[in-house]
């Protein structure tokens, strides 16, 4: 049975069980990751993601999405709320008429089910309306997540039919000692090497380059550092898969992105999008970042 059919079957069974428990509406579907873009997959569309971390968005989900609903449609927007808010965000995305927005979890458990108190599987994320998952965020790696676990989580996300955004990035020590590329290469090989024989469709995988020293610090990597690192990530992705996938898989930058710097970061040739923490907590701020990203693409397309 094809990978997606298995995922769909898992979702259908999960939805039925949860519906019997009165927890979801069995007739309601939020589509899957392939429904995110309005047409066929276009890797030149920026992927701009909000990581709310352990915060509810500042103004509440309804006003936040009312703001975001007017965001430029030339960008694929992706929201990673806390898992307990997934269903509410997924429902509001539909209600405001932007089913093209992706919604995802900030983590997932590698097992499809079982005695894992407090965890959530890919199938449960889908049942809650999620279409994506974030994997290997540095805050989880700092809490003890290993490369091997990141790899298993990527498999679990893909097996469940989710899109997966995997984070890589070097520490300040690695940057200072010239080890940045070695660290990035090792993280990418450990995370994705195992999927080389059965590569995911490019629209179901994104890599976020997030230097640890730029996350939540207000210190942004320089444009040269961002371009050099995202181009390097793409080269390693080509090494793992092939050149076509390396061209089509979106590589995004994260680390103190704000409305005021989004446009210049997005202008770097190997940056296909952004992963935004703090500045994604308010609708107008995140929308300004999305619109700045759309502007870059529109400018690039002009003859
Ligand atoms: C993040 O947590 O992924 C992130 C990039 O955070 P911030 O934008 O706040 O630096």
- CATH code of residue 102: 3.20.20.70
* Domain annotation covers residue 11: no
* Residue 39: predicted pLDDT: 67
Number of structural domains the chain divides into: 1
Q: Which domain holds residue 179?
A: 43-215+235-301
> In angstroms, rounded to a whole number, what is the distance separating the alpha carbons of residues 289 and 266?
10
* Domain annotation covers residue 187: yes
* Domain annotation covers residue 176: yes
* Domain annotation covers residue 116: yes
Q: Which atom of ligand 1 is nearest to the CA of 137?
A: 3
Atom 7 (ligand 1) nearest CA:
277
Q: Which atom of ligand 1 is nearest to the CA of 218?
A: 10
- Between the CA of 142 and the centroid of ligand 1 the distance, in Å, is 14
**H-helix or E-strand spanning residue 62:** helix 61-68
Residue 228 Cα distances to 17, 217, 234, 276, 293, angstroms:
48, 21, 10, 20, 19
The closest of 103, 105, 92, 18 to 62, measured between CA atoms, is 92
* Domain annotation covers residue 2: no
pLDDT digits (tens, 9 = 90+) for 284-301: 999 999 999 999 988 876
Per-residue pLDDT of the chain (303 residues; tens, 9 = 90+): 444 344 444 444 443 443 333 333 332 232 344 434 446 899 999 999 999 999 987 789 999 999 999 999 999 999 999 999 999 999 999 999 999 999 999 999 999 999 999 999 999 999 999 999 999 999 999 999 999 999 999 999 999 999 999 999 999 999 999 999 999 999 999 999 989 888 999 999 999 999 999 998 989 999 999 999 999 999 999 999 999 999 999 999 999 999 999 999 999 999 999 999 999 999 999 999 999 999 998 887 665
* Domain annotation covers residue 142: yes
Q: Which atom of ligand 1 is nearest to the CA of 217?
A: 10
* Domain annotation covers residue 19: no
The closest of 225, 272, 279, 285 to 257, measured between CA atoms, is 279
Burial environment of residue 140 by CB neighbours within 10 A (0 to 12, 13 to 18, 19 or more): middle
Q: Which two tokens stand for residue 240?
A: 């793992």
Residue 300: how many CB atoms within 10 A of its CB? 11
Ligand 1, CB within 6 Å, residue ranges? 51, 210, 215-216, 254-257, 275-279
* Domain annotation covers residue 228: no
Residues serving a catalytic function are: 137, 210
- Between the CA of 39 and the centroid of ligand 1 the distance, in Å, is 29
Residue with tokens 């769909």: 8
- Between the CA of 207 and the centroid of ligand 1 the distance, in Å, is 14
Residue with tokens 């320089």: 222
* Residue 303: predicted pLDDT: 58
């Amino acid at each position: 049975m094809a990978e997606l059919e298995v995922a769909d079957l898992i979702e259908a069974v999960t939805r039925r069980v949860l519906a019997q428990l009165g927890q979801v509406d069995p007739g309601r579907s939020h589509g899957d990751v392939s429904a995110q873009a309005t047409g066929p997959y276009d890797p030149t569309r920026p992927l701009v993601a909000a990581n709310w971390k352990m915060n509810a968005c500042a103004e509440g989900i309804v006003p936040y999405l009312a703001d975001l609903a007017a965001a430029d449609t030339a960008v694929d927007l992706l929201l990673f709320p806390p898992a307990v808010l997934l269903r509410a965000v997924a429902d509001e995305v539909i209600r405001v008429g932007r089913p093209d927005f992706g919604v995802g979890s900030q983590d997932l458990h590698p097992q499809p089910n079982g005695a894992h108190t407090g965890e959530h599987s890919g199938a449960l994320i889908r049942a809650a309306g999620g279409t994506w998952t974030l994997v290997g965020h540095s805050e989880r790696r700092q809490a003890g997540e290993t490369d091997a676990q990141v790899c298993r989580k990527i498999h679990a996300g893909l097996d469940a039919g989710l899109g997966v955004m995997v984070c890589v990035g070097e520490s300040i020590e690695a940057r200072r000692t010239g080890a940045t590329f070695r660290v990035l290469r090792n993280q990418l090989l450990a995370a994705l090497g195992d999927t080389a024989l059965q590569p995911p469709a490019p629209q179901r995988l994104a890599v976020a380059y997030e230097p640890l020293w730029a996350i939540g610090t207000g210190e942004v990597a320089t444009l040269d550092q961002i371009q050099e690192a995202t181009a390097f990530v793409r080269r390693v992705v080509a090494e793992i898969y092939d050149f076509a996938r390396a061209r089509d898989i979106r590589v995004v930058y994260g680390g103190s992105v704000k409305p005021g710097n989004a446009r210049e970061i997005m202008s770097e040739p190997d940056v296909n999008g952004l992963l935004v923490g703090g500045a994604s907590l308010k609708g107008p701020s995140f929308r300004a970042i999305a619109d700045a990203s759309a502007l870059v693409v529109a400018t690039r397309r002009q003859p």
